[in-house]
Amino acid sequence: MTRLALLMDLDRCTGCQSCVAACKDEMQTSSGAHLIRLTQIGPEGRFPHLTMYYLPVTCQQCTEPACADSCPERAISRDEDGVMVVDAGKCNGCGECVAACPYGAIIIDDATGLARKCDLCAGLRLAGRRPACVAACPAKAIRVIGQEAEQPESVPEIGRRGPVEMRVLRPSAGTGPSGRFILTCQPWQDGT
């Protein structure tokens, strides 16, 4: 079963915000509204013995999505690629989904008053192209995973790093996120 999500290679991410800009440009979100946002974990510790990494956060394409469960209008559903999408025709802008999402990945856009979230650039996907953030990322840190033939857990060995652990963001939220993260150059802190 195809269930697309994003893999963020944090060993590569340089925090340049290109993904954020490309997302805003593609999705035409209003100012202050982000469907992907760049957060930074750290720096923590005593200079110069510090830990830090960049953490781009977007929809984790959960298997048990709190957003969809919370929606009184049943406006959020899974499309044929397994991507959670908002039906703007059904959304009433009540904001229940915003409160429910443990990742802050769904927002009410001021311009329309309706819920918006990352749909892995549905329009571009239809045209057989990559999501805007994936295409723009200078560090090649973002990949689409979850094709039918490839479970998120079975991403092949990546370069010299060998088999790397696929991290899940805040699994304790219990929504079964499909998004994955790779981080070997720094200790993983669950992104909280």
Which residues of the chain form contacts with other proteins (CB under 8 A)? Answer: 9, 11-12, 14-18, 20-22, 24-25, 31-32, 42-48, 50-54, 135-141, 158-161, 185-186
Shortest distance, CB of residue 21 to other proteins, whole angstroms? 4
Of residues 32 and 89, the one with the C-beta less far from other proteins: 32
Shortest distance, CB of residue 151 to other proteins, whole angstroms? 23
Of residues 114 and 134, the one with the C-beta less far from other proteins: 134
Contact of 82 with 3, CB cutoff 8 Å: yes
Shortest distance, CB of residue 59 to other proteins, whole angstroms? 20
DSSP annotation of 143 reads E
Of residues 77 and 112, the one with the C-beta less far from other proteins: 112
Q: What are phi and psi of 20, to 5 degrees?
A: -65, -45
d(CA 41, CA 149): 33
Of residues 123 and 174, the one with the C-beta less far from other proteins: 123
For residue 147, count other CB atoms closer than 10 A to its CB. 13
Shortest distance, CB of residue 6 to other proteins, whole angstroms? 16
d(CA 163, CA 31): 40
The H or E element containing residue 136 is helix 132-136
Look up residue 26 and give its amino acid: E
